[in-house]
Structure 1
Amino acid sequence: MDREKTLALLKENFQEKKVTKCIFSNMKGDYEYTKIIIKPLMIKNNFLYQFEQFKNNKAYHINITVEEAIEKLADIVDNFYQYVLFTTEYDIQIIKGKKDFNMKSACNAKEICSLEHNKVKKYILEDGKPVPFLIKLGIMGEDGKVFKKSYDKFRQINKYLEFIDDTIKELKNKKYIDTHIKAVDFGCGKSYLTFALHYYLKNIQNMTFEVIGLDLKEDVIAHCNQIAKELNLENIEFLTGNIKDFNKLKNVDMIFSLHACNNATDYSLLKGMELDAKAILAVPCCQHEFNEKMSKNKKSEFFSFENPIGKHGILLEKFASIATDAFRAQALELCGYKTQVMEFIDMEHTPKNILIRGIKDKVNQANLEKKLKEYEVYKSFLGINPILDELLKPYFKI
């Protein structure tokens, strides 16, 4: 083929929107870009082509219309020696020689290309696939379609299962568990997440398990047990009681406490120590204690150095919440856990979006000494004696 036929072939496929991907490489001379990759995409129902252009090991992106893309093709063809064109009908490779353009098959398999700029999120529990407990709890219909009003809760459940999935993998890697796991949900409430864990362990991980949900509200627990009975769920139990008094299981592998108010999170961490939990997941809520205690000690270093924050109630409240969770994460590390503080769910869905995850780890005394010093300095700076300090200090590994 000559230049005009090659250019016509490219323009035709771009014009008819048959291109799924096009790569221009092997730059000629001193052209501005060393490589160009073109893909189609949809943005707000507008069909565009995205040009990913490489220069000095950096990629530059532009999204342009079909007509604008076609206008650029002639210049690109003149400045590259190799083109690979993927279309909905065929894939070809074109090599530019001294006198003509040689064309051959590029590959055997078609490349699948998504036109969506924001690709659909792949969830562990799928929208459109019936899940009995989600139907029973009113999250989706009998056809498996998630109700619009329940989509935030659906996303939260899936985000939670992603953390559970990662945690189980790490517990297995560390040889803490094999094919059986014991888990407790403190403050389970309506138990969306407890039921999700049961479904995940049975239907996705194919593990044996013991799962318990605990809450103070008798009517809520009765409702959860009724749902479990109606769905014929085994090895899951819901109990009424206080976190402090729980003693149903020993040597628990995993505990989680989501949106436990104020010091209820601290008592769930303590119970994790008492039960020798291998993994602890907590999403704290309503961190009032630090705010109240810091406000009463205006002579602390915090107010000496951070008064621009301390003098504004709303800023102090936000700072106290962050300080509380930082303190909790550090305390868990002193108890022999490797900790991570992560975003649980997007801020648009809930302001209580910090998840603290601790997994038992090998103890390094030198590191613990450093962490203990940081812990004490931090506590002195804030000018408080938190309840957590009293609860967890007996479990410090130093």
Structure 2
Amino acid sequence: MKKDRAYIENLLKDLVEKNSFIKATVSNPVDKKYKIKKINLKPILIKDEIFIQLESFKDNKAYHENICYCEFLPKFSQILEEFKQILIVSQGADYQILKGKSDYNIKESKNSKNLVSLEHNKKKQYIIEDGKPVPFLIKLGVMGEDGKVFKNSYDKFRQINKYLEFIDDTIREMQSKKLIDTHIKVVDFGCGKSYLTFALHHYLKNIKDFTYEIIGLDLKKDVMDKCNRIANELECDNLEFLTGNIKDFDKLQNVDLIFSLHACNNATDYALLKGLELGAKAILAVPCCQHEFNEKMSKNKNSNFFLKENTIGKHGILFEKFTSIATDAFRAQALELCGFRTQVMEFIDMEHTPKNILIKAIKEKVSRESLEKKYNEYRTFKEYLGIEPILDELLSPYFLIKYN
């Protein structure tokens, strides 16, 4: 249905005042040069007063601002002017809103979302709750038959839920961009014991009510055989585990989402390449053990990096941290040249695992002007480091802009 801006403003106003507003996301700025690309909104309670928290994403960094509700409505009116897409999630209904030339097209769909406490320092609410039995978590030894998470498994439980939050946000964004509807094809490269693969299946089937095809891939045959046995015992439909190398995978084509968690060193690069080969619309990668940049940069002490940044380069531990950050920055920039919008964010707190950087990439249309700017940044950074990364060889055939 088509409505004017006043209707959208009153819709959010009513949801907040009825205490049924859960969260909202605005994206796709009207002005492509606008530096803020997305804003997440959610209500919070501070000293018994309702505030709206704005999480704005600019230059792949998140900025937070809490605005009291009485001052928020004029701000929301301004936001509506600046963005084309809005997703409002409330208790009982989602509202997908697309801005047209003179009005807004609204699609309403029912959901089963429950309200959570608005306390600013509230206890963390998880997608999978502690205390409610979940068959795959019981089978994998994370919780008991009563649904209570074992104390020594709580970090794993927390990681699973954090992962599902990223999946939830990614799927919603893919839907808002019309990259998928309610069916999704997913491949998990290097799935290991497959806690997260089973979590994805549970989420899509029991929470999201999607149709799906999910494949987990790993080199360890005994582990994949065990995962297949568990999947059969739990009657997990359309979930399959295969033994093999990422480079050789050809089971699915036109994949919607691939993820690669803790793939060592260049295994992450080959996972990114395979995602492009399979036509993936979104990629989630949590790399680890980034040795390549460290080794190659160490062999070229005449590079601009060592000439200008030897205060870092001469200290082994600082140099190691820098090369790890540089590796993931290079990966994110390369994916942008392949037509993705990327974000680099924290996957889980450092106290739980040192492998905590997640690269999130989702397909989007990019102007030639933007591509030229990104390519110049990419080339300048590579020359500054003084190396030829494997990723450049792998992904450059997929760059949307070509230079000699």
Fold-level match, TM-score > 0.5?
yes
Task: Please state how far the C-alpha of 1:210 moved relative to its aligned partner.
Answer: 0.1
Matched, 1:286 2:289: yes
- Counterpart residue number, 1:331: 334
State which of 136, 159, 162 in structure 2 corresponds to 1:159: 162
Matched, 1:134 2:140: no
Give secondary structure in 2 for the equivalent of 1:138.
Answer: coil
State which of 223, 246, 251 in structure 1 corresponds to 2:254: 251
| Offset from partner CA, 1:153-196 (integer Å, 9 cap, x none) | 00000000000000100111111111110000000000000000
TM normalised by structure 1 equals: 0.71
- Counterpart residue number, 1:361: 364
Tell which deviates more after alignment, 188-197 or 172-181.
Answer: 172-181
- Counterpart residue number, 2:51: none
TM normalised by structure 2 equals: 0.70
Task: Please state how far the C-alpha of 1:386 moved relative to its aligned partner.
Answer: 0.2
Code of the residue aligned with 2:314 in structure 1: it is K
- Counterpart residue number, 1:297: 300
- Counterpart residue number, 1:388: 391
Query: Counterparts of 1:353 and 1:249 in 2: how far apart (Å)?
Result: 28
Query: Counterparts of 1:396 and 1:354 in 2: how far apart (Å)?
Result: 24
- Counterpart residue number, 1:124: 127
| Offset from partner CA, 1:318-352 (integer Å, 9 cap, x none) | 00000000000000000000000010001110011
**1:271-282 equivalences in 2 (<5 Å):** 271-282=274-285
Code of the residue aligned with 1:289 in structure 2: it is E
Task: Please state how far the C-alpha of 1:113 moved relative to its aligned partner.
Answer: 11
Matched, 1:211 2:229: no
Task: Please state how far the C-alpha of 1:117 moved relative to its aligned partner.
Answer: 7.8
Query: Counterparts of 1:260 and 1:132 in 2: how far apart (Å)?
Result: 27
| Offset from partner CA, 1:294-317 (integer Å, 9 cap, x none) | 000000000001101101111111
Code of the residue aligned with 1:203 in structure 2: it is N
Alpha-carbon spacing, 1:302–1:209, altered in 2? closer, same or farther (3 Å): same
Alpha-carbon spacing, 1:115–1:388, altered in 2? closer, same or farther (3 Å): closer
Task: Please state how far the C-alpha of 1:116 moved relative to its aligned partner.
Answer: 8.1
Structure 2 portions without partners, runs of 5+? 1-45, 49-67, 72-114
- Number of corresponding residues: 293
Task: Please state how far the C-alpha of 1:363 moved relative to its aligned partner.
Answer: 2.0
State which of 216, 223, 226 in structure 2 corresponds to 1:223: 226
Task: Please state how far the C-alpha of 1:119 moved relative to its aligned partner.
Answer: 1.7
State which of 369, 373, 376 in structure 1 corresponds to 2:376: 373
Give secondary structure in 1 for the equivalent of 2:252.
Answer: coil
State which of 319, 329, 332 in structure 2 corresponds to 1:316: 319
| Offset from partner CA, 1:18-43 (integer Å, 9 cap, x none) | xxxxxxxxxxxxxxxxxxx866xxxx
Task: Please state how far the C-alpha of 1:281 moved relative to its aligned partner.
Answer: 0.2
Identity among equivalent positions (%) equals 78
Structure 1 portions without partners, runs of 5+? 1-36, 40-53, 58-111
State which of 335, 345, 348 in structure 1 corresponds to 2:348: 345
Give secondary structure in 2 for the equivalent of 1:140.
Answer: coil
Give secondary structure in 2 for the equivalent of 1:190.
Answer: coil
Matched, 1:198 2:237: no
Give secondary structure in 1 for the equivalent of 2:162.
Answer: helix
List structure 1 segments (4+ residues) > 4 angstroms apart after TM superposition: 112-117
Give secondary structure in 2 for the equivalent of 1:369.
Answer: helix
- Counterpart residue number, 2:148: 145
**1:182-197 equivalences in 2 (<5 Å):** 182-197=185-200
Alpha-carbon spacing, 1:115–1:169, altered in 2? closer, same or farther (3 Å): closer
The answer to whether the 8 A contact 2:186-2:215 is kept is yes
Larger Rg: 1
Query: Counterparts of 2:365 and 2:309 in 1: how far apart (Å)?
Result: 36
Superposed CA RMSD: 1.9
Give secondary structure in 2 for the equivalent of 1:322.
Answer: helix
Query: Counterparts of 1:117 and 1:308 in 2: how far apart (Å)?
Result: 41
The answer to whether the 8 A contact 2:116-2:125 is kept is no
State which of 157, 174, 178 in structure 2 corresponds to 1:175: 178
Query: Counterparts of 2:181 and 2:350 in 1: how far apart (Å)?
Result: 35
Query: Counterparts of 2:322 and 2:138 in 1: how far apart (Å)?
Result: 40
Task: Please state how far the C-alpha of 1:118 moved relative to its aligned partner.
Answer: 3.8
- Counterpart residue number, 2:59: none
| Offset from partner CA, 1:28-84 (integer Å, 9 cap, x none) | xxxxxxxxx866xxxxxxxxxxxxxx9xx9xxxxxxxxxxxxxxxxxxxxxxxxxxx
Matched, 1:235 2:238: yes
